[in-house]
Amino acid sequence: MSKTKPISSRPVTEDKYRNEKGILQIVQDGLCHHCGACIGFCPVGTFGLDENAYPIQVDKCIDCNICVRDCSGIEVDYDGIGTQLFGDDYQYGSFTGWVEESYIGHAKENKLRRNGASGGVVTQLLMHLIDTKQIKGAVVVIEDPDEPACGKGIVARNRDDLLRSQQSRYTTAATLAALQEIQKEDGPFALVGLPCQVHALRKHQMFSSSWKRRVPIVIGLYCHFTLPMSAIKETARTLGPKRERLLHMEFRNKDPRGWPYNTWEMTFNGGTVWRSPLDPGQTFNVVSRVTKLGRCLQCLDATAEFADLSIGDPWIRDEDGNLKYETPEGWSSIMVRTTKGSEIVQDAISAGKLEIRPIPLKEIQMGQYQMMTEKKLQSAFRIQVRRFLKIATPHYSMRLPQASHKIIKTEIAFWFLRTLPFFRSVSRILLWVGFSKFGTWAIVRRQQRRKKRFATGKVPIVDPDFGVSEKRT
């Protein structure tokens, strides 16, 4: 198949968005997903973060337009970035992007494995790279010390920093703002990022060889969505005790039963601890139903397609519908995309830091079926509807797949539920019901029914290509 043609030859960045005002317009148009790139790459520190972690102007601007050029909220040139990373054979068009090898794996150090969101692979790899002086540090996310409902990007340079960064924070985190700290420092550094954060870094690296050298290692995370910190605060207010303030939160706190029961725990200043009765997937599903997910609903990347390595949970089920890799210590699922990614994994194995097992890519796709369908097909449909209605939309320079009747029906049901967050009191009631004994019972029952559907083969097998086939070497 020949290369897809750009839909429009005129890049968005030459249109209405320019310089610092362009960034503020992007925020106003609802296209900002809080990656932090406009802060991290600005040469003169024009932007800081406001109380909702959106960029806010704090200093003068020198009109270089770097911020708008790098913003992945308004534009991602998949074919351009993909071709540069993977060569001329790259073409947008599969659920998982370009993948060379696929594994499940876990950290060999018990503490890192038990403390990780899944198998502690991300932190184990970074620890090994820092210990062996292959990198000076890594951009990671910790709980914001001033606002526990928010994540904060830092440059981790030692073991303690890395330990603080373990576990996923399913909340706003302008991670790339931390790049400001290393703007004038020689690398090499690594970066752990969500797909949209990886896009912004890669966009910048397309124009800057010094940033290619400064951040030569990119570890991406799978990502269904991020909950806005306002939703996290609202949930804490609804489910937490009255008159107590949120002090600390762990999104993947390890329960004595271990993975996959490592779920959300909120600690309040009066000593009250609220713990979700549901596993992490169901917990964040409930919250997402009553939350405005904003720009995430137009995101096309489920698995950080432009990272060297992409890592997520192994939500993979066997033929009886049970989680195939369920073990209290946890495993991570790993997709290796580049030669650099492969070298990092092999080096960690040789040093006795990492254990992996090859698994078919199809298993990973099955495990992420719902998320990938939403990202690749529903999001594409949403974007086309928004374009038709002339609502601000991110610019993607490739042809998007046509929606089937099934996708359109799913989308209608999806939006019917999404009208609820517009009524705050309804949202609060639904949150309360979702985590009540009745809600938990209903959700667990639904999961059991789903498990049975799996066992009887009623969950569809995923076709990894959705209309545009990917060439492979």
**In the complex with ligand SF4, which residue's Cβ is closer, 49 or 348?**
49
Q: Does 173 bind ligand FAD (CB under 6 A)?
A: yes
Pick from 12, 263, 307: nearest CA to 118: 263
| Contacted by 37, from ligand FAD, ligand SF4, none: CB < 5 to 8 Å by type | ligand SF4
Contact set for ligand FAD, span 234-273 (CB under 6 A): none
Residue 248 CB, shortest distance to ligand FAD, in Å, is 15
The interface mask with ligand FAD, positions 359-398, x = CB under 6 A, is ---------x--x---------------------------
- 331 near 314, Cβ under 8 Å? yes
Please give the Cα distance from 278 to 356 (Å, whole number). 28
Q: Are 381 and 300 in contact (CB under 8 A)?
A: no
Q: How many CB atoms lie within 10 A of CB 289?
A: 17
Shortest distance, CB of residue 20 to ligand SF4, whole angstroms?
4
Question: Contact 234/340 with Cβ under 8 angstroms?
Answer: no
β-strand pairing of 137-144 with 147-156: antiparallel
Q: How far is the CB of 56 from ligand SF4 (least distance, A)?
A: 11
403 binds ligand FAD (CB under 6 A): no
Nearest approach in angstroms of CB 141 to ligand SF4 is 12
**Site pattern 214..233 for ligand FAD (x: CB under 6 A):** -------xxxx-x-------
Q: Which does 73 bind (CB under 5 to 8 A by kind): ligand SF4, ligand FAD, none?
A: ligand SF4
Helix 339-350 × helix 121-131 angle, to 10°: 80
Nearer to ligand FAD, 317 or 395 (CB): 317
- Can you tell me the distance from the alpha carbon of 341 to that of 129, in angstroms, rounded to the nearest whole number? 12
- Are 135 and 190 within 8 A, CB to CB? yes
Distance of alpha carbon 272 from its chain centroid, rounded?
A: 30
> What are the residues binding ligand SF4 (CB under 6 A)?
19-20, 23, 26-27, 32-38, 42, 44, 46, 55, 61-67, 71-73, 174, 194-196, 200, 223, 225-226, 295-296, 299, 301
Q: Which does 379 bind (CB under 5 to 8 A by kind): ligand FAD, ligand SF4, none?
A: none
Mutual angle of helices 405-418 and 379-388, in 10-degree steps = 80
The answer to whether 122 contacts ligand FAD (rule: CB under 6 A) is yes
Q: How far apart are the first and last CA of the chain?
A: 14
Q: Is the dihedral angle over the CA atoms 284, 289, 290, 292 positive or is it negative?
A: positive
Q: Which residues contact 51 (CB under 8 A, 6 or more apart)?
A: none
Binding partner of 371, given ligand SF4, ligand FAD, none, CB within 5-8 angstroms per partner class: ligand FAD
| Interaction between residue 288 and ligand FAD (CB under 6 A) | no
CB of 410: closest distance to ligand FAD in angstroms? 17
CB 246 within 8 A of CB 268: yes
The packing angle between helices 78-86 and 195-207, to 10°, is 70
Q: Give the residue with the Cβ less far from ligand SF4, 168 or 267.
A: 168
Residue 20 binds what, of ligand FAD, ligand SF4, none (CB under 5 to 8 Å, by partner type)? Answer: ligand SF4
* Contact between residue 211 and residue 187 where contact means Cβ atoms under 8 Å apart: no
Q: Is 167 in the site for ligand FAD (CB under 6 A)?
A: yes
Contact between 155 and ligand FAD per CB under 6 A: no
Interface with ligand FAD (CB under 6 A): 116-123, 140-141, 151, 165-170, 173, 175, 192-194, 221-224, 226, 311-313, 315, 332, 368, 371
